[in-house]
Each structure stands twice: as C-alpha cells, then as structure tokens.
Amino acid sequence: MAGGLEDSNQQQGGGIVTYECIRCGTKTTSEELRTLPELKCICGFRIFRKVRPPIAKRVKAV
C-alpha cells in the first residue's frame, strides 16, 4: 500500500473558524462561507468578525 495524504483531514491548526456578522450578530463558519458564492450575511451585510470558538481552556480557579 502506498502511503498518501488524506484529503478528508481538516486543515491543520484547529479547524473551523466562526465568524459573526457585526451588524446582526448572525454566526457562520468558515465552512459555510466557503459554500457561498460571496461573503455575505443573510442580512446583506458583508463585514464579519472572527469569533473565537469556546475552547476549553484550563483556567485555574483562584
């Protein structure tokens, strides 16, 4: 068997990025945006800001 890269793997670096429309607050993901013909929110606005996904950080309880 020849070794090969698996395309099914997601991009390195943690995966999907979530974006939020700065106008209406609708959240969408980079994967969803990729399927759209243009970067546009359902409200018509085109400016998104990156939202940090809720990563489980280890926070020390003080």
Residues binding Zn ion (CB under 5 A): 21, 23-24, 26, 41, 43, 45
The minimum distance between CB 45 and Zn ion, in angstroms, equals 4
DSSP string, the chain: ------TTSPPTTSSPPEEEETTT--EEEHHHHHHSSS---TTS---EEEE-----------
For 18, other C-beta atoms within 10 Å of its C-beta total: 17
Residue 42 or 61: the one with the smaller Cβ distance to Zn ion is 42
- Least separation in angstroms between residue 51's CB and Zn ion is 13
Q: Whole-number minimum distance, CB 31 to Zn ion, in Å?
A: 18
Which residue number, 36 or 45, has a Cβ lying nearer to Zn ion? 45
